[in-house]
């Protein structure tokens, strides 16, 4: 990989060489050997990714989203019968995959996986078309790096694979490519209406997924206007499309799911959004992110910072703000910032004049490996239930058991419920709202803030009243209890009504975090389904 590159040879078993400004041969013909090799290598990456993803299986959030979508498609009302603390686009984005899975007749988990693969193909494919249209000097090298771009969005995500942040980020790439085209001052190229519409629609997905990400869109857009010394570029057609889609989406939220704006959003703002720790998140991800920025600086120090490098790095830097602001520190919250930073690094490598096989090259390659390894760490842990744990739950189950949960972590019941074939009937995916309100009440009480303590305690009590009504109505066959959260678990089971419910159950499976209880035979009456 580190042999010498010479002249226009492009790729001689080494890093890509810089091409002339008009050399787009790598994108010029669908029959070119370079393109064939890149596509074959990329296809192999998809195969490896499918095997690698078995480490995580269907991740927690995706499993709940599938359950939620199925219930909505069965006629239950979102934010009434099924509660989600995210805006409706989180479920709307993946509804096509669930609907198509039903129509074709295969498992929705497979549909979600293929849907995400399609998003990667669309995001990278449309970006390639825009880059080809732009005729960037580094096009030939970018094509040779295509398998690494695929690996970045298929293998690197790990426990963030199929998260809406991952799908939104890869679909954001065409818009960034179009921004780079407009920022290029060496040549002026008209992108064409089809590419503009495609980039605008794809780019809007990330902003619709989470409004915080609008900063990752605004910052590179401002860079384009600054570089071209033309503020009118802020009103470029693709930007107008993004803005229009956003306005239409807000209108649809009010029209189709008024309960979210009226009922749920105030609760989320009052409870969920107050539990973040931005300082901890900054300290956790800051050093890691600075390593990637350092890599961008030293991986090809003599290479120019091309428009592609600039817009992707700026979008990445801007995406750090939502990560810190949310204050949760979950890996998928960092995916946009980290993955876009690596896209910038790859673009910088593509813009370089080539690496020679020497000590300097070895040092850079080693640094790349170290940085990628450290950046990968947050995405490696898995919440997939152990086979023995699943087997024990299945052994204690009959038919399609109903499953309830006591615990704030969504992982308590998801993906376990779908793996064991259980029906999850509760409106809430876990006790996150009641538990967080209880914690806030305790904290406010300790500070002497009586009004806040009373308000949060009422929220928590109301949640538990509704939860007990569900327990009484559904008479669950299985109950999962989160053991590593004694503050909430002890509070719930310390109430006689919940203690009485649990007395009719016995443990059937246990792992490091959760214990599953099955109903005792003597109370194994017909459940209210």
pTM more than 0.75: yes
Report yes or no on 528 lying in a domain: no
Averaged pLDDT score across all residues of the chain? 91
Q: How far is CA 41 from the centre of its chain?
A: 25
What pLDDT does 357 receive?
Answer: 64
Q: Do 497 and 350 fall into the same domain?
A: no
Q: Do 175 and 81 fall into the same domain?
A: yes
Report yes or no on 339 lying in a domain: yes
Please give the structure tokens belonging to residue 469. Answer: 């009504």
Which of 379, 396, 424 lies at the terminal end of a domain, its last residue? 379
Instruction: Give the Cα separation of 405 and 418 in Å (integer).
Output: 14
Report yes or no on 2 lying in a domain: no
User: Using one digit for the tens of pLDDT, what is the confidence trace for 349-388?
Assistant: 999 876 666 677 788 888 999 999 999 999 999 999 999 9
Mean pLDDT calculated for residue range 132-154: 94
Report yes or no on 4 lying in a domain: no
Which of 348, 379, 410 lies at the terminal end of a domain, its last residue? 379
- SS3 (DSSP) at 425: coil
User: Using one digit for the tens of pLDDT, what is the confidence trace for 24-50?
Assistant: 444 554 448 889 999 999 999 999 999
Mean pLDDT calculated for residue range 334-347: 98
Q: Do 198 and 226 fall into the same domain?
A: yes
User: Using one digit for the tens of pLDDT, what is the confidence trace for 480-500?
Assistant: 999 999 999 999 999 999 999
Domain total of the chain: 2
Instruction: Give the Cα separation of 227 and 15 in Å (integer).
Output: 29
Q: Do 153 and 197 fall into the same domain?
A: yes
DSSP 158: G
Please give the structure tokens belonging to residue 262. Answer: 């009226």
**Residue 142 CA: distances (Å) to CA of 64, 121, 127, 279, 304:** 37, 16, 11, 37, 15
User: Using one digit for the tens of pLDDT, what is the confidence trace for 384-408?
Assistant: 999 999 999 999 998 999 999 999 9
Q: How confident is the model at residue 324 (pLDDT cuts 50, 70, 90)?
A: very high
Q: Do 232 and 285 fall into the same domain?
A: yes
Q: Do 283 and 363 fall into the same domain?
A: yes
Q: Range of 455's domain? A: 387-523
Report yes or no on 10 lying in a domain: no
Report yes or no on 116 lying in a domain: yes
Q: Do 117 and 245 fall into the same domain?
A: yes
Q: Is 4 a residue whose pLDDT tops 60?
A: no
Q: Do 394 and 431 fall into the same domain?
A: yes
Which of 319, 352, 379 lies at the terminal end of a domain, its last residue? 379
Q: Do 339 and 422 fall into the same domain?
A: no
Q: Do 287 and 320 fall into the same domain?
A: yes
Instruction: Please say whether the beta carbons of 149 and 39 come within 8 A.
Output: no
Helix axes 146-154 and 33-52, enclosed angle (nearest 10): 20
Residues 6+ apart with CB under 8 A from 513: 409, 411, 412, 482, 483, 484
User: Using one digit for the tens of pLDDT, what is the confidence trace for 193-223?
Assistant: 999 999 999 999 999 999 999 999 999 999 9
The region that residue 447 occupies, defined by phi over 0 for left and psi between -120 and 50 for alpha, beta otherwise, is alpha
């Amino acid at each position: 990989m580190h042999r010498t590159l010479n002249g226009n040879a492009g790729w001689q078993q080494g890093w890509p060489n810089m091409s002339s400004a008009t050399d787009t041969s790598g994108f010029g013909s669908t029959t070119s050997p370079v393109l064939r090799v890149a596509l074959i290598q990329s296809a192999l990456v998809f195969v490896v990714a499918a095997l690698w993803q078995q480490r995580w299986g269907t991740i927690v959030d995706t499993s709940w989203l599938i359950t939620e979508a199925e219930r909505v498609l069965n006629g239950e009302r979102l934010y009434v019968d099924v509660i989600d603390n995210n805006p409706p686009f989180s479920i709307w984005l993946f509804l096509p995959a669930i609907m198509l899975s039903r129509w074709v007749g295969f498992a929705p988990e497979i549909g979600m996986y293929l849907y995400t693969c399609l998003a990667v193909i669309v995001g990278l494919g449309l970006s390639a078309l825009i880059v080809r249209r732009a005729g960037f000097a580094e096009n030939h090298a970018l094509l040779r790096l295509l398998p690494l771009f695929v690996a970045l969005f298929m293998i690197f995500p790990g426990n963030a694979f199929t998260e809406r942040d991952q799908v939104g980020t890869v679909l954001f790439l065409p818009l960034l490519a179009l921004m780079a085209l407009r920022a290029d001052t060496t040549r002026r190229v008209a992108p064409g209406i089809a590419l503009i519409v495609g980039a605008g629609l794809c780019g809007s997905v990330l902003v619709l997924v989470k409004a915080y990400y609008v900063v990752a869109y605004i910052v590179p857009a401002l860079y384009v206007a600054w570089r071209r010394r033309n503020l009118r570029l802020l009103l470029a057609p693709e930007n107008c499309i993004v803005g229009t889609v956003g306005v239409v989406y807000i209108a649809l939220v009010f029209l189709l799911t008024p309960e979210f704006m009226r009922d749920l959003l105030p609760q989320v703002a009052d409870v969920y959004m107050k539990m973040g720790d931005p300082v901890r998140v900054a300290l956790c991800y800051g050093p890691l992110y600075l390593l990637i920025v350092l890599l961008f600086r030293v991986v090809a120090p003599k290479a120019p910072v091309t428009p592609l490098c600039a817009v992707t790095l700026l979008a990445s830097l801007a995406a750090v703000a939502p990560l810190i602001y949310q204050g949760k520190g979950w890996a998928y919250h960092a995916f946009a910032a980290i993955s876009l930073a690596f896209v910038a690094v790859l673009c910088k490598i593509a813009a370089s004049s080539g690496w020679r096989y020497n000590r300097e090259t070895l040092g850079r390659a080693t640094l790349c490996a170290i940085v990628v390894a450290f950046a990968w760490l947050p995405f490696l842990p898995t919440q997939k239930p152990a086979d023995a744990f699943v087997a024990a739950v299945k052994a204690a189950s009959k038919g399609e058991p109903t499953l309830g949960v006591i615990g704030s972590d969504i992982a308590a019941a998801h993906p376990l419920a779908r793996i064991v074939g259980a029906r999850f009937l509760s409106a809430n995916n876990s006790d996150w709202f009641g538990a967080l309100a209880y914690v806030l009440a305790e904290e406010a009480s300790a500070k002497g803030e009586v009004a806040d303590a009373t308000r949060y305690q009422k929220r928590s009590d109301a949640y538990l009243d509704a939860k007990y009504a569900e327990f009484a109505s559904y008479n669950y066959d299985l109950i999962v209890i989160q053991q590593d959260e004694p503050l909430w678990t002890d509070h719930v089971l310390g109430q006689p009504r919940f203690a009485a419910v649990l007395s009719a159950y016995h443990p059937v499976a246990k792992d490091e975090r959760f214990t599953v209880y099955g109903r005792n035979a003597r109370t194994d009456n017909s459940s209210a389904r």
